[in-house]
């Protein structure tokens, strides 16, 4: 009797290349259970493997942190779809993917609340010095001196750079702190009740707290620079839960060292996992290891959307949630 072939195996139109281990280990197991998955990071010679077998893959699964470099895209001549775990897509080689007409799915929406929660956690910690106070108590300093007076957050001005889904979630939380909210985008958001500032510099001048929720990539690279930090001023605080590339990290370190801004809360960095050493030495900056979406609930929802994007694109050619530039390129190809 011939060996039985599962229904799932007979229905697989594509072989799946997984670029690396997923942030949620359960997703690794679920992908392997549902598809014919090969993990590129486990190959002894990935370049040789891609040369020999790259043409056998139609789909890639990756994450926003890992991205997908151009040399991998170019080694997959039959690549039709990428399913990415995360909302950032600046680490995906956009030019290579667009040139090939590859559809790209990602996981927006499901992580908005946790990232917005993290933005406020960093904001409150930076303003009230919670992490510094914790170190103060643990060192035994409390018995010898008083901890310094900190800054109130409620009732202050909150500036949001990037009023998308996550920025809007941050603004909703600000209402509970009786904060005034303003924002800067490339253009005003229709129907937004919040003050629109026509430039990032003007937003920084207006704000007591400047929260970064803008997308990464070339268009926003180092937009938060020394001039913006100077505008934020010695009583102002910076919070970044977006991408490290949006902030000029060396300029930020200097501003913190010289007291040109009051403090910062950072979940993302330019060269992860290596923040500038100057930041590590500063007591007026709170650092976290890119964990804004790192809750059980959110990571599970992200994993589910990775699987849904993959299944739908295999079935219909279009993911459930598609990276905007991927969708635009696909529409242009269809119209041509």
pLDDT in tens, 289-329: 999 999 999 999 999 999 999 999 999 999 999 998 887 66
User: Is 140 found in the same domain as 57?
Assistant: no
User: Is 119 found in the same domain as 105?
Assistant: no
End-to-end CA distance of the chain: 51
User: Is 142 found in the same domain as 85?
Assistant: no
Full domain range(s) for residue 262: 112-287
Give the pLDDT of residue 325. 87
Percent of the chain exceeding pLDDT 70 equals 93
Give the pLDDT of residue 327. 73
Contacts of 158 (CB under 8 A, 6+ apart): 170, 171, 174, 179, 180, 181, 182, 207, 208, 209, 211
Give the pLDDT of residue 3. 39
Q: Is the pLDDT of residue 331 over 90?
A: no
Residue 68, domain CATH? 3.40.50.720
User: Is 101 found in the same domain as 33?
Assistant: yes
- Residue 150 carries which DSSP code? -
pLDDT in tens, 62-101: 999 999 999 999 999 999 999 999 998 989 999 999 999 9
Give the pLDDT of residue 41. 96
Cα separation of 98 and 153, whole Å? 44
Cα separation of 174 and 178, whole Å? 6
Mean pLDDT of 212-239: 97
Longest Cα–Cα distance in the chain: 82
Q: Is the pLDDT of residue 40 over 50?
A: yes
User: Is 276 found in the same domain as 328?
Assistant: no
φ, ψ dihedrals at 284, nearest 5°: -100, 20
| Number of domains the chain is built from | 2
Which neighbouring-strand residues pair with 84? Answer: 62
Mean pLDDT of 278-286: 96
Give the pLDDT of residue 2. 40
136-161: buried (b, 16+ CB within 10 Å) or exposed (e) per residue?
Answer: beeeeeeeeeeeeeebebeebbbbbb
Work out the burial of residue 192: count CB atoms within 10 Å of its CB; fewer than 13 is exposed, 13-18 middle, 19 or more buried.
Answer: middle
Q: Is the pLDDT of residue 5 over 60?
A: no
User: Is 226 found in the same domain as 138?
Assistant: yes
User: Is 275 found in the same domain as 169?
Assistant: yes
User: Is 265 found in the same domain as 116?
Assistant: yes
**Catalytic center residues:** 243, 272, 290
Q: Return the H-helix or E-strand segment holding 212.
A: strand 209-212
Cα separation of 56 and 42, whole Å? 17
């Amino acid at each position: 009797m011939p060996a039985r072939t599962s229904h799932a195996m007979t229905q697989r139109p594509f072989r799946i290349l997984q670029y690396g281990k997923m942030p949620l280990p359960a997703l690794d197991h679920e992908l392997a259970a549902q598809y014919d998955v090969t993990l590129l990071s486990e190959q002894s010679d990935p370049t040789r493997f891609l040369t020999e077998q790259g043409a056998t893959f139609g789909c890639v699964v990756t994450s926003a942190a890992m991205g997908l470099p151009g040399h991998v895209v170019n080694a997959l001549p039959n690549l039709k779809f990428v399913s990415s775990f995360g909302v950032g897509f600046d680490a995906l080689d956009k030019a290579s993917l667009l040139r090939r007409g590859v559809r790209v799915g990602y996981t927006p929406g499901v992580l908005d609340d946790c990232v917005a929660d993290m933005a406020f956690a960093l904001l409150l910690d930076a303003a009230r010095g919670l992490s510094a106070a914790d170190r103060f108590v643990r060192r035994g300093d409390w018995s010898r001196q008083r901890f310094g007076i900190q800054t109130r957050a409620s009732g202050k001005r909150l500036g949001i750079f990037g009023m998308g889904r996550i920025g809007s979630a941050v603004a909703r939380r600000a209402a509970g702190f009786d904060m005034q909210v303003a924002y800067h985008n490339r253009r005003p958001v229709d129907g937004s009740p919040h003050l629109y500032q026509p430039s990032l510099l003007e937003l920084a001048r207006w704000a007591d707290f400047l929260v970064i929720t803008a997308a990464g990539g070339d268009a926003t690279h180092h937009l938060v620079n020394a001039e913006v930090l100077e505008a934020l001023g010695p009583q102002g605080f910076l919070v970044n839960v977006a991408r490290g590339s949006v902030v000029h990290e060396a300029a930020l370190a200097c501003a913190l060292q010289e007291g040109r801004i009051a403090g910062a809360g950072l979940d993302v960095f330019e060269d992860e996992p290596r923040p500038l050493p100057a930041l590590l030495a500063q007591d007026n900056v709170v650092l976290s290891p890119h964990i804004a979406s790192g809750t059980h609930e959110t990571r599970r929802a992200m994993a589910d959307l990775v699987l849904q994007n993959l299944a739908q694109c295999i079935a219909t050619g279009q993911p459930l949630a598609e990276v905007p530039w991927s969708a635009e390129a696909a529409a242009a190809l269809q119209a041509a």
